[in-house]
Structure 1
Amino acid sequence: MSYNILAQDLLDLHPYLYTYCPLELRDWGYRCSLLLQEIQKCQPDILCLQEVQENHYEQQLQPALSLMGYTCVFKRRTGPKPDGCATCYRGSRFVCAATTQLEYFRPETGLLDRHNVGVVLLLRPLVDQGARLTERGPPLCVANTHLLFSPRRGDVKLAQLAILLAEIDRVVKSCRSSGEHCNVVLCGDLNAVPDTPLCRLITAGSLFYRGLSRRLRPQRPEAHRVPPPAV
């Protein structure tokens, strides 16, 4: 399961983007309750969240998810904004062999001047063998990220994605060097629709970018987010 859960601080900073949504439905307490109900109902083995506000993660989400049996890794964005990405997995299904917390802000590189982040985990599947859990099956690389929103800076998004893909490639090759096949799951809010060059790079494995506009074609407008259903 993967959700951008919309950090409350960002919602409050840009309320004009959510005027279609009744005020009471924008309240974090209301939204958090629905989100946790949805997770409890679906019981995903792996959960990737974006726009996770740090204090909400520490005070509400992580304690509740821990009670559900999840182990979580949180990476806050660099810079002043208090949200980030959280990747959670069921401790009864996986053990974490390696964790990488990626920062895309590289002050020495003019293009990488934004504070987005990513989380890459190498998980090993577990099976219940009576009184104990045993590792079995190929490892799984789980990558979670939230790329830059701006529709005018597709070049930045491509550079951020390249950093993430390079780390995934490193993890896969480290497994291959040990004679193991490694499956990959990539989750996140890429701020791009499926037919954009950004997504083509992921699906095709290559991209000829010479002559492309920085805009990399339209993305889904932020104002079109659909709130979770009332229950």
Structure 2
Amino acid sequence: MFPFPRSLVWPPPPSQQPMPPLLPVPDSATDPGRSYPKRHRSPSPPLSAVGPSRNQYHHRFATHSQNRRWINPDLKRRRLSSLKRQRRWIEAENAPDFSSSKGDPIVMMSYNILGDHNCRNHTELYDRIPAKFTEWESRKRLIFLEITERNPDIVCLQEVDQVQDVLDYMKGRGYDGIHKGRSGDYKDGCATFWKKTRFRLLEDDSIDFSTFNLNNNVAQVLVLEVQEGRQLVVGNIHVLFSPRRGDIKLGQIRMLLERANFLSRKWGDIPIILAGDFNSTPRSVLYEFLSSKEIDVSLHNRLKMSGMDPMDFVRWRREYIWTEEELLNAIGHLEGTKIKSPIKLWSSYASIKGPSITRGPNDEPLATTCHSKFRGTVDYLWYSAEIACLRVLDTLPIHLLKERGGLPSEEIGSDHLALVAEFAFVDYESSESDDEDTKSTDSSGVSTEHTALSGSY
């Protein structure tokens, strides 16, 4: 009956589809033998209940999630990477030949462990740090673990006030050591330890700066004999923090260098390693002095010598008037205003080039300490001639420290990073005797090769 095949027009459009037949409405009159229940309309809900909560789909899942706090996935905190795994050893690229040197290398650690008294009384520095990370019982476990993992031969600690805890642990690990506390109301001090199976203490000449009117900070200067028969001067210092007292800071560093130089000459010009928290940045005048550059204090304001303020590195274009007291504090005399270090020193970290993510323009670390008020480098390991740095344990990238709001953290027990370097004695005399026939000698009888080597380290 269709003009076209059924397959071309079937099914018809919805408008042309036939309506399904309506079910007959049961009627008791037509079906008296069947009874039907009465239908009752549900009562309308109150207006307060009308809304999404009445949605059947919502109710189906509400019981599962109504007690769970909703978290925005975009704001969810990223899982932080391990800090300790980021610290890697960096080898010296042009290390000299140590085939003629005596003994094994010496691993040295310098670590400001953050005194318990200072941590509890300067909470403004750690306002972004969870309280559990600033408690001594938690921090000391991490500090001791750091020392154990690095296994240094010599350990120089600063801000040591829980003395008995530290002494007990270090002695239990096979170290001998000496603690030098600050005078007055301060509780902390410096402590130097060495492995008793390898070193022997020959002399201790510690400094209490309060006896020289240079605040009550302390420093330690020791002479240690290595079992192989070599001697070494080891210095440990915590310089005054106050950024505005550049005269006292310079005076404390000057005295440490003078005392170390005196002991070195006393024991036959033995090498020197100086460790500590120097509370001065790599861009500061104090750093220039430590790196054996002559400075003229009259060209610098004592308020701007430590580099701990962003404007401290700006050079003054006029002379700054120093009082007699300030000159005596800084350079120890009133005969002129120039001063130069009595020792030629090199910074262990600056002497080994590292990645730009952890190093600054002069190859010093970008940061060795980080808290709410300051982030930068103030800790160093300095060394003199007749010894060379083989490798250093690199510091951390700045962004990792920022992620945690500073230090201490769940992995690091102090607001400073431990500096670790490996040193070796350089035996120039042996190398000279081996090549005596091939060396040239100048008119003064001094080997020109020896002079070149001495000036290259």
TM superposition score normalised by structure 2: 0.44
SS in 2 for 1:192: coil
Give 1:74's aligned amino acid.
H
Deviation of 1:6 after TM superposition, in Å, equals: 0.8
Match of 2:163 in 1: 57
Q: 1:230 corresponds to which residue?
A: 411
Shift of 1:206: 3.1
Partner SS, residue 291 of structure 2: helix
Equivalence for 1:195: 283
1:174 alignment partner, one of 266, 273, 279: 266
Following superposition of structure 1 onto structure 2, how do residues 22-171 of structure 1 map, counting pairs within 5 Å?
22-53=130-161, 56-58=162-164, 60-106=165-211, 109=213, 112=214, 114-127=215-228, 136-137=229-230, 139-171=231-263
Cα distance in 2 for residues equivalent to 1:86 and 1:66: 13
Residues 1:218 and 2:326 aligned together: no
Q: Does 1:4 align with 2:112?
A: yes
Three-state SS of the structure 2 residue aligned to 1:48 is strand
Residue 172 of structure 2 aligns with an amino acid whose one-letter code is L
The equivalent residue for 2:432 is none
- Contact 2:156 2:275 survives alignment (8 Å): yes
Unaligned residue ranges in structure 1 (runs of 5+): 128-135
Matching residue of 2:294:
206
| SS state at 2:267 partner | helix
1:92-128 deviation per Cα after TM superposition (whole angstroms, max 9, x unaligned): 1110100012011136x4xx2x11000111001014x
More strand by share: 1
Note if contact 1:34-1:228 (Cα within 8 Å) is conserved in structure 2: no
Which runs of 5 or more residues in structure 2 are unaligned?
Answer: 1-108, 309-368, 376-405, 413-457
Q: Tell me the SS of whatever aligns to 1:38.
A: helix
Decide whether aligned partners of structure 1 residues 2 and 230 sit closer, same or farther in structure 2, where only a CA change above 3 A counts: same
1:230 Cα deviation from its structure 2 partner:
2.1
User: Identity of paired residues, percent?
Assistant: 31
> Within 2, Cα distance between the matches of 1:105 and 1:50?
17
Q: Cα deviations across residues 137-178 of structure 1 (Å, max 9, x unaligned)? A: 3x11000010000111111100111111111011011012xx
Q: Structure 1 pair 48/217, CA: closer, same or farther in 2 (3 Å)?
A: closer
Answer whether contact 1:75 1:85 (CA < 8 A) is retained: yes
Whether 2:121 is the aligned partner of 1:13: answer yes
The alpha carbon displacement at 1:209 in A equals 1.6
Check 1:167–1:8 CA distance in 2 against 1; reply closer, same or farther (3 A cut): same
Shift of the 174–228 alpha-carbon distance from structure 1 to 2, 3 Å rule, reads farther
In 2, distance between residues paired with 1:217 and 1:147?
Answer: 11
Structure 1 counterpart of 2:23 = none
In structure 2, C-alpha distance between the alignment counterparts of 1:205 and 1:125, rounded to whole Å? 31
Give the letter for the 2:126 counterpart: Y
- Is the CA contact 1:94–1:126 (under 8 Å) kept in the aligned structure 2? yes
Shift of 1:229: 4.8
Structural RMSD (CA)? 1.8
The Cα offsets for residues 24-67 of structure 1, whole Å up to 9 and x where unpaired, read as 000001100011111111110000000000xx211x11111101
Q: Deviations over 1:168-193 (max 9, x none)?
A: 011011012xxxx4111100111111
2:149 is paired with a residue of what secondary structure? helix
Give the Cα separation in 1 of the matches to 2:244 and 2:177: 33
Per the normalisation by structure 1, the TM-score is 0.86
Cα 1:217–1:90 change in 2 (3 A) is closer
Q: Secondary structure at the match of 1:87?
A: strand
Q: Secondary structure at the match of 2:254?
A: helix
Moved over 4 A (4+): none
The answer as to whether partners of 2:281 and 2:307 remain within 8 angstroms in 1 is: yes
| One-letter amino acid of the structure 1 residue matched with residue 289 of structure 2 | L
- The CA distance in 1 between the partners of 2:196 and 2:176, in whole Å, is 6
Paired amino acid for 1:226 = L
More helix by share: 1
Secondary structure at 1:52 match in 2: coil
Cα gap change, 1:228/1:165 in structure 2, threshold over 3 Å: closer, same or farther?
farther
